[in-house]
Amino acid sequence: MRARIAHIASNTFREAVRDRVLYNLIAFALLLSGAAILVGQISIEIEKLVVINLGLTAVSLFGVVIAIFIGIGLVSKEIEKRTLYTVLSRPVRRWEFIVGKFFGLAGTLVVNTFFMAIGVFAALFYVSHKFVRADALILVALYFIILQFLIICSLSLLFSSFSSPLLSAVFAFSLFVIGSFAEDLRNFAGMAHGALRWLTTCAAYLVPNFSAFNVITSIAHEQPVARQLILQNTLYALFYAAMALSGAVLIFERRDLK
Amino acid sequence: MKQRQKTAIVASACLIVSLAASSFLLHRTDQLRPQATLDEVLFLSSPRVIKRASLGYDGLMACIYWTRAVQYFGYRHHYYAASYNLLAPLLEITTHLDPQLVVAYEFGSSFLAPKPPQGAGQPERAIELMEYGIQNNPDNWRLYYDLGFVYYMELRDYKNAAETFERGSHVPNAHPFLKIFAAQMAQHAGEYETARMLWSATYQTTQDQQIKQNAIDHLRALHVDEDVEHLQQAVTRLGERTGRLPASMAELVAAEGLPGTPVDPDGHPYKLTSEGRIEVRVPDDFPFATKGLPPGYKPKYQAFQ
C-alpha cells in the first residue's frame, strides 16, 4: 500500500517538475534580489523587513497559486488523458490514488519552499551581512506556510474530485480568501442571533482558518511564536487536510468513471 | 534564407521598434502630464479596508505604504512643497497595517511636525501618530523622546514635553537623558541650549545617516539663529548708545569688542545691511535657520503650493 502511494506521489512530483512548475523560482529569485537591492534606495530602514515580508509573502502566494492550479487538475487531467484508467486497472485503490496525488503535490510544494527559503536567507544575508538568532524564527513562518499548503492541496483535490478544473479553482481560491477572514467570520457569528448565529458559527468552523498561520509580520519584528500555537496549528492543519482528503476519497470512490 | 528565419527577423524588428516607440510615447506623455503619476490620489484611504484587503499579508503592505510615504515626502520636500495632504493618511495606513513598524513613527513625526517646506506643518497629526505608536510599543523609549521632541520643538508645549519625557524615563532601558530633558522642560531653561541638547542627543543615539544629517543641519541652524540674535542685540545696543546704526560690521565688532568678524558655521562672515539687519551670506546653506534670512527669502524651488 505504502509503495503504491509513494509511487503515485513520486510520479505526481515528476509530472509537476516536467510541467515546469519550479520555473516560478526564477521569478521569485528576481523579485527578491530586486527588492533587496532597490528598497534600500527608495525607502528608509526597512531593508530587512521588506526581505522577510516580501520573501515569505511570495513563498506563500506562489505556493498557494501552485497548490490551487496543480491541485485542481490532478484528477480531472488524469481522466481527460485517460491515464487514470491505466492506473486503476492495476492493483491501485482509488483512495490510494487520491492520497498519493496529495503527497506528490505536497512534496512539490515542500521542495519549492525549500529553494525559496534558501533565496530568502540569501537575500537576508545580503542586506544584513550577518545572521542573528532571531532569523531562525523565519523557519517557523515557513513551517506554517507549508501547513497552509497542506490544507490548500487537500481542498484543491477535494474540489477536483467532483468538479471541473475551472470551478475547482474558483472554489479553492474563494476558500483561501474566506479562510483569511476566518477570524472576522467568527466575530460576526458572535454578534449574530438565532439561526443566523448557528449558520455563521458552522461556516466559521468549516472554512479553514488561515489567519492563525500568518505570523509573517510578527516574525519580521523578531517576536517569538508560542510553542502552543506551533503545536495547535500543526494538529489543526493535519486534521483539516485529513478531513478534506477523506471527503475527496468518499466522493471519488463513488464517482462513475465510465 | 529560410521562411522561418525571415519571420524571426521581421518579428524581432517589430518587437524592438514597438518597444522603442511605446517607451518614447510614454516619455512624451509624462512630459505632457508631469505630475500625473504622482498625483494626490489615495484610492483606498481606510486603513481597515486596506488591512482586510491585504489577506493577512499586512506586513508587506505596510512596507509598501511606508515606501510610498517616504517617496511622497521626499519628492515634495525636494521641491519645497507647501502642502503634504497625503502624508498623514499614508502614515496612518502604514502604522495601522503594522503597528510595530517603529521607523514609521520616528521618521513620520519628523516629516509631519515641522512647518512647510521642511515638513507638513501638522504637529497635531504627528502627536496622534506618536501616541498610537506608544500605545502599541509602550516599551520603546525613543517614541517618548520623539513625542517630547515634537511638543517642545514645534509647539513649545513645555508641560506636555516634560510629561512625555518623564513617562519615557520610566520605560525599562530608557536613555538617562530623558530625565534631564524632563527637568529642563519643567524649568523652561535656556531655549538654545535645550534645543542643542535635543539635537545632539538625536545625533548620538541614531544609526541612520539621514537622521544624523538632519540633526547636523538643525545644529548648524541653531548656531546661526543664536549668532544672529546676539549680533542683532549688539546692533540695537549700539543704536541706543550712539543714536545711529553701525555703518559696517567692522564698526560693530570694534564697538562691542568682539574677537573678530563673526562668521557662520561655514566660515562666511555675517552681513550687516544698511537697515541694520544681520543676515547670512548663503541662506540656502541653512535650510532650518529662522533668523538672518533676507526679507522675503524663499528657498530655490517653489514648485508646489
The answer, for A60 touching chain B at a CB cutoff of 8 Å, is yes
Cell of A87: 492506473
**What span, in angstroms and rounded, lies between the C-alpha atoms of A177 and B52?**
10
Per-residue pLDDT of A8-44, as tens digits, reads: 888 888 888 887 777 777 788 778 777 777 776 777 7
Predicted local confidence at residue A151, as pLDDT: 94
**CB distance from B59 to chain A under 8 Å?**
yes
Q: Residue B299's pLDDT band (boundaries 50, 70, 90)?
A: low
Name the minimum distance, in Å, from the CA of B225 to any CA of chain A: 30
- Would an 8 Å CB–CB cutoff place A214 in contact with chain B? yes
Residue B111, domain member (yes or no): yes
Give the pLDDT mean for A192-221. 87
Task: Answer yes or no: is B262 within a domain.
Answer: yes
**What's the confidence (pLDDT) of residue B305?**
39
A50 contacts on B by Cβ (under 8 Å): 60, 63
Q: Sort out which chain B residues have CB atoms less than 8 A from A61's CB and list them.
A: 57
Specify whether B99 is located in the same domain as B58.
Answer: yes
Q: What is the mean pLDDT of chain B?
A: 85
Q: In this complex, is the C-beta atom of A195 within 8 Å of any C-beta atom belonging to chain B?
A: no
Closest partner CB to A216 (pick from B59, B66, B70): B59
Q: Judge whether B240 lies within some domain.
A: yes
Total number of residues shown for chain A: 258
Domain count, chain B: 2
Phi, psi of B279 (to 5 degrees): -135, 155
Instruction: Please answer whether residues B120 and B87 qualify as being in contact, where contact means their C-beta atoms are separated by less than 8 angstroms.
Output: yes
| Tens-digit pLDDT profile for residues A79-99 | 887 888 888 888 878 889 999
Answer yes or no: is B133 within a domain: yes
Distance CA A215, CA A60 (A): 12
Q: Does B302 have pLDDT greater than 50?
A: no
Closest CB from B60, B67, B98 relative to A57: B60
B237, B254 Cβ separation under 8 angstroms: no
- Diameter of chain B by CA atoms? 101
Residue B65 — pLDDT band, cuts 50, 70, 90?
very high
Q: Structure pTM?
A: 0.75
Q: Is the peptide bond before B123 cis (omega within 30 degrees of 0)?
A: no
Do B77 and B126 reside in the same domain of the chain? yes
A254 contact B CB<8A: no
pLDDT at B301: 46
B117 is a domain residue: yes
Domain co-membership, B245 together with B186: no
Smallest CA–CA distance, residue B139 to chain A, in Å, is 14
pLDDT at B38 over 70: no
Q: What is the CATH number of the domain that holds B125?
A: 1.25.40.10
Q: Does any CB of chain A come closer than 8 Å to the CB of residue B66?
A: yes
Q: Which residues of A touch B57 (CB under 8 A)?
A: 53, 57, 60-61, 214, 216
Whose cell is 543704536? That residue is B239
Using the predicted structure, report yes or no on whether residue B187 has a pLDDT greater than 70: no
Q: What is the DSSP letter of B139?
A: T
**Chain B interface includes A173 (CB < 8 A):** no
Reported as a single tens digit per residue, the pLDDT across B241-252 is 888 888 888 888
Nearest-CA distance from B147 to chain A in Å?
20
Chain A closest-CA separation from residue B168 CA (Å)? 21
Residue B34 has a pLDDT of 58
Instruction: Determine the Cα–Cα distance for residues A224 and A227; give it in Å rounded to an integer.
Output: 9
Task: Please choose, from the candidates A28, A22, A27, A25, the residue with its C-alpha nearest in 3D space to the C-alpha of residue A51.
Answer: A28
Looking at the complex, does the CB of residue A223 fall below 8 Å from at least one CB of chain B?
A: yes
Q: Are residues B186 and B231 in the same domain?
A: no
- CB contacts, 8 Å: A39 with chain B: 63, 67
Residue B35 has pLDDT above 60, yes or no: no
What pLDDT shows up at residue A106? Answer: 93
pLDDT at A235: 96
User: Which residues sit opposite A230 in a β-bridge?
Assistant: none
Instruction: Spell out the domain ranges in chain A.
Output: 2-254
- pLDDT at residue B285, as a whole number: 87
Which residue has better confidence, A190 or A103?
Answer: A103
Q: How far is CA A26 from CA A19, A29, A142, B22, B270, in A?
A: 15, 5, 19, 27, 61
pLDDT for B66 equals: 93
Q: Please check whether residues B265 and B168 belong to one and the same domain.
A: no
Closest residue to A53, CB basis, from B63, B71, B208: B63
Residue B146, domain extent = 47-190
* Residue where the block lists cell 490514488: A97
- What pLDDT is stored for residue B300 in this prediction? 57
- Average pLDDT on B17-36 reads 79
